[in-house]
Amino acid sequence: MFSREQIHDEIERLANSEALHNSESLCKLLRYLAEQSMENPGAAIKEYQIATEVFHRSADFDPQLDSVIRVQAGRLRTKLASYYTHEGEDDRIIVELPKGNYALHFRENPRRIKSGETPETKVAEHVEALQHHSNAPEEHPRSSPLVPVLSTLLVLALAALIVMSSTRRGVSADTAAAANLQSAPAALQIFWGQFLATPEAPWVVFSNASFVGRPETGLRYYNPAAGESQTQIFDHYTGVGEVLSVHALDDVFATLHGRVRVKRGSLFTLDDLKQNNLIFLGSPAENLTLRDIPSTSHFVFQRVASGARAGDLSIATVAPRPGEPAVSLASPNGQPLAEDYAVVGLKKISDSHLVLIVAGTTTFGTQGAVEYLCRQESLQTLLDHLGVHKPGELHPFEALLRIRISHGVPVDETLVAVSSN
């Protein structure tokens, strides 16, 4: 689609832009990813490869313990979005770094008509040029008397063609949105594109559990069974994982040229359920709204009733099938949190509205599950297990994920089991 020279020029334009000119490390990363993407189109670029070849990390670099490459890629992704929103809004080529993939994506900028240049002014310029040419002194006295008529017809025909061409470029918002959606990675289109099928952007409803006490002296979960007063409830706190999950979702919807709206669970109403696509973050233990709506039915959240883990939140499998765990638990209290489990559940509330539940037993499990759904490669694994290959084939399902955690950061997610509803 683009020549190597055109891509190289765009990369250098980016490197010298206001967005990137003060960041030598991001410019090095950008040039490296561009070169790899052109040399080996379609090939995956590994974190280890980037760490050792670009940032000169030692040979024992472990991407699961060191998130430097993911952090730098996230910064570069943000800078690219900023550049094409401001300085580079009229560039011919748009360079993107899809989430979950280190290969750059190059696409045509849909803004092909320059600022201030309308179809009418383009027609006027061409008509004026043609009329000037037709009114010029004749160089051939024997020309047919039909020439002025034909010139006029040519002017009108050209004007019509220019208007038609410009109209095609100025397509409707729906058509432009569809074209933008098709430019995103296929797995993201199939899974997340359905949430953009309604006029209103989906709501992301994040958990915010009820606490009592005071922030400066200590908070604890509100326990209605103990007869505690509701007058001092604090319901405006959420976990780190939920915050980063909202960011990841906002990023993936921006890739799809869409947007999300955000609401805390305590402000959710049943009217929202009837009128919008919804994405719930966090388990029913903290996102209390999930107790009032159709939730997951095969992988369900339960407190352990007895034994050494009594009272701990678990994910229980209802009527486990071969290979499915009966109960899934995070690392025990008192030990470093190294493992968690999460549920992903897609529900269809009506013919036109969906509910997606993404929840771990801890805030980091929730974050890991959202990141799993926002990366092209891992999301493709889920779609393959579901037998989904194109838009429109995805139906309600539930999935169980195992999340590996290091120093409070989800570093690896594994699909444990899938149940199609």
**Residue 276 to residue 204: CA distance in whole angstroms:** 10
**Residue 321 to residue 30: CA distance in whole angstroms:** 47
* Cβ neighbour number for residue 407 with a 10 Å cutoff: 10
pLDDT for the residue numbered 40: 84
pLDDT for the residue numbered 224: 66
208, 237 contact by CB (below 8 A): yes
Collect all residues with Cβ–Cβ distance below 8 Å to 359 and sequence separation of at least 6: 207, 280, 281, 282, 283, 284, 287, 290, 301, 342, 343, 365, 366, 369
Residues in the chain: 421
**Residue 320 to residue 203: CA distance in whole angstroms:** 32
HSE (CB half, 13 Å, CA atoms) of 249? 31
- The structural domains of the chain, with segments of one domain joined by +, span 4-112, 120-133+151-170, 182-420
Q: Which residue has the tokens 């490197």?
A: 15
pLDDT for the residue numbered 129: 44
Tens digit of pLDDT per residue, the chain (421 long)?
788 899 999 999 999 998 887 788 899 999 999 999 988 887 889 899 999 999 888 888 888 778 889 888 888 998 898 888 888 888 999 999 988 789 999 998 886 544 444 444 444 444 444 444 444 444 444 444 444 444 444 444 444 443 444 444 444 444 444 445 556 788 999 999 999 888 889 999 988 777 777 777 777 777 766 666 666 777 777 888 999 999 999 999 998 889 999 988 878 777 777 778 999 999 888 777 777 777 899 999 999 999 999 999 999 999 999 999 999 999 998 899 999 999 999 998 877 789 999 999 999 999 999 999 999 899 999 999 999 998 889 999 999 999 999 988 898 999 999 998 6
pLDDT for the residue numbered 228: 65
pLDDT for the residue numbered 136: 42
158, 130 contact by CB (below 8 A): yes
Q: Which residues pair with 205 in a beta bridge?
A: 263, 280
pLDDT for the residue numbered 357: 94
**Residue 138 to residue 149: CA distance in whole angstroms:** 15
Q: In terms of Cα–Cα distance, which of 204, 262, 201, 252 is closest to 371?
A: 252
Written out in words, the top-level CATH class of the domain with range 182-420 is: alpha beta
Dig out the tokens for 378 from the structure: 């891992």
